[in-house]
Amino acid sequence: MSEQMPANVGEDILRIHRVLTRSLTVSIQFLQQAEQPDNLHHGFMLYLRALSALLHAHHLGEDEIGFPFWRTKSPFAPLNNLIRDHLRMMPLLEKIEIWLNSESGWEAPHLRRLQGILEELNAIWLWHIQLEESVMGPEKAAALLTPAENQQLARQLATHGQEHAQPDALVLPFILYNLPVEDRAVMAQIFPPLVTRQLVPVEWKPVWEPMKPFLLE
């Protein structure tokens, strides 16, 4: 990890939320099209696999690290509501994994079912992040946490996320290129220069390049 970390863990949470919000929207819009061209099937499956891996890892990091720490700072925050949302989303992520591993997933009935799963997931997600950002967003992070605590929690969540959101060659480009340029530059500081200057643009590019139609420039 880079030594330069975000000074406010709430800002870091917002950036991950932006990645996941955009990718859910992009995925649903792709399935809403009258046709899904054959040449985009592989890229979409990679994109959806990265989305699922990141969302699961994001929730796991909050459950294991973020929420227990936040409870010490804000004992009456509605963290149990957020945990319940995570539990509601888990079966939907499992259904996405089933679709990804299905040999008949691109048949019309299965696509419509996948679209419904993603729409249900997105509805829970949008409600969830509204509450979470009111509890753990930048203003609350600045008010409740010292600069050292912000840096420590940001580092712990980033390390946990990189360990659990796999494979790196798919998920890290997915994170960076679902963000606009300014957010991408800040997020890139979390990763070692080797990752952003060599691995993502060169060595890992054959892995993630099929996702490009779904990513930002």
Does the reported pTM lie above 0.85? yes
pLDDT confidence tier of residue 217, bands split at 50, 70 and 90: confident
Total domain count, the chain: 1
Do the domain assignments include residue 20?
yes
Which residue is associated with the tokens 């940001």?
Answer: 154
Average pLDDT (85-92) is: 98
Do the domain assignments include residue 4?
no
Do the domain assignments include residue 68?
yes
Do the domain assignments include residue 2?
no
Do the domain assignments include residue 147?
yes
On the question of pLDDT at 178 being above 80, the answer is yes
- DSSP letters for 173-189: HHHHTTS-HHHHHHHHT
On the question of pLDDT at 56 being above 70, the answer is yes
On the question of pLDDT at 31 being above 60, the answer is yes
Structural domain for 128, as ranges: 9-214
Q: What's the mean per-residue pLDDT of the chain? A: 95
On the question of pLDDT at 5 being above 70, the answer is no
C-beta atoms surrounding 88 within 10 Å? 14
